[in-house]
Amino acid sequence: MKFLPIVSLILSATTCAHADVADVQGFPLLSIFKTIKNLPTRSVRCGGTLPRNEVFTAHQISLAAKAALTHLLKGTQVDLTKAKGTRNFYPKPYGYKDPLVRFPSALCGRDDQLSEFPITRGLYAGASTKDLAHRIVIKQIGRKAIYCGLITHEGAPEVSGLVAPYVNCDG
């Protein structure tokens, strides 16, 4: 009768190994699950107490970072051409021009090539970002990446010469 526990153990291990793949809606991310360094282990709040504030779990942040890296590795972008004639592609370079943004990792500096990608409650697959104030920022290093942080337009003060500036999210 030891056969039944062994079979159930194998089946549960197989199910657990594939659980995260379903969460990312068709992105083949299983091979890069451990390639994003410096991911948070706690939730992060964007927007403070302002109307468009959101709290993102560590899992949501991880999925957004992995989606951004997958697009970077494939050389693809989410095209928002359909959004009222605008041409807005993600992931896209983050220029780090916002004077109030500071990333805690010394590995994400002002002169580094960083990428930004919208973060939402689900996996961002393309839509107007007019109502999406929050972004994840990563730094690609070969086939891996470093999580730099979350930034938001929500609550960012006006900065001369910048359209829609960012500030760091808390967490």
- Structural domain includes residue 112: yes
- Structural domain includes residue 5: no
- Structural domain includes residue 97: yes
How does residue 42 score in pLDDT terms, banded at 50, 70 and 90?
very high
Lowest-pLDDT choice from 2-6, 44-48, 63-67: 2-6
Average pLDDT in the chain:
78
**Mind listing the pLDDT tens digit for each residue in 74-109?**
999 887 655 555 567 889 999 888 888 999 878 899
103 in Cβ contact with 110 (< 8 Å)? no
- Structural domain includes residue 51: yes
- Structural domain includes residue 9: no
162 in Cβ contact with 128 (< 8 Å)? no
CATH of the domain at 110: 3.10.450.30
How does residue 123 score in pLDDT terms, banded at 50, 70 and 90?
confident
Q: Which pLDDT does position 6 carry in this prediction? A: 44
Q: Which pLDDT does position 9 carry in this prediction? A: 42
Count of structural domains, the chain: 1
Say what the pTM is. 0.75
- Structural domain includes residue 1: no
Higher pLDDT: 154 or 116? It is 116
Q: Which domain holds residue 28?
A: 24-168
Closest residue by Cα to residue 114 from 78, 158, 150, 62: 150
- Structural domain includes residue 78: yes
Q: Which pLDDT does position 29 carry in this prediction? A: 47
DSSP class of residue 14 equals H
d(CA 64, CA 145): 12
Lowest-pLDDT choice from 78-87, 129-138, 151-160: 78-87
- Structural domain includes residue 164: yes
